[in-house]
Amino acid sequence: MLKKGFYFIFIFCMMSVAALAQPGDDAPIVEGDDGAKEAAVRAKYLTDFHNYNAQLNTVIGTKDIFHHHIDVNRSSASIPKVGQVTQAIDCYFALRDGAYVIKKILVLTRSGAVSSTKEFVYDYNGTGSLSYYSYNANIADDKSERIGVYFDKQQLIYYGEDGLVLPKNSYDDDIFKTGIDILNMSADYELMLSTIIRVQPK
């Protein structure tokens, strides 16, 4: 009976607070509520995903995960119409049932004094597909643009801005277009990694 009481208190708390869009060790909080059921489902999904990502971060850097690093424009040459922009790309992937599965891709872009980050997290539901994308326009500025977008089987399911995941009834066409753009961007990075895997030592 005592355990059941704590369970209902936990569910009530999860439905009444807001979800952080950035992954980490802390459980996300839910912002907004377009119904108790939606809020509870959203809170559980975000909590489970962030737990997955936290566990993934603990194995990155170990021999259980492959890691390829790519420097783009390492010489800092001036790229036409872009300028002196450099990128550091880290790809993490695992071997499963004889095939390589992408787990995470991190991109650090430096343009002048501004550094931005992109994070792609894959394989949350075991499908190998994109599960989460985050973007921080300027890591040195707490007020810079930050978004977090969650996917399931190539479909956008949750969207967050500035650290808060919004309820689904607040999404407009621009948000879904952003989701399509992210999926296309992810496909480019997946192709890049697939090409590198083809030429890696065999």
Among the ranges given (35-49, 115-129, 133-147), the one the predictor scored with the smallest mean pLDDT: 35-49
Q: Which amino acid is at 83?
A: G
Question: What pLDDT sits at residue 27?
Answer: 46
For 83-118, what is each residue's pLDDT tens digit?
A: 999 999 999 999 999 999 999 999 999 999 999 999
Q: How confident is the model at residue 67 (pLDDT cuts 50, 70, 90)?
A: very high
- The residue ranking higher by pLDDT, 76 or 20, is 76
Backbone angles phi, psi at 93, to 5 degrees: -150, 160
Question: What pLDDT sits at residue 26?
Answer: 47
99-111 and 114-122: which strand pairing?
antiparallel
- The yes-or-no verdict on residue 196 having pLDDT over 70 is yes
- The yes-or-no verdict on residue 119 having pLDDT over 50 is yes
Q: Global pTM?
A: 0.81
Angle at which helix 2-16 crosses helix 36-59, to 10 degrees, equals: 90
Using an 8 Å Cβ cutoff, are 5 and 118 in contact? no
State percent of the chain over pLDDT 90. 74
Q: How confident is the model at residue 129 (pLDDT cuts 50, 70, 90)?
A: very high
- The residue ranking higher by pLDDT, 4 or 46, is 46
Q: How confident is the model at residue 12 (pLDDT cuts 50, 70, 90)?
A: very low
For 17-54, what is each residue's pLDDT tens digit?
A: 333 344 444 445 455 544 678 888 889 999 999 999 99
Backbone angles phi, psi at 46, to 5 degrees: -65, -40
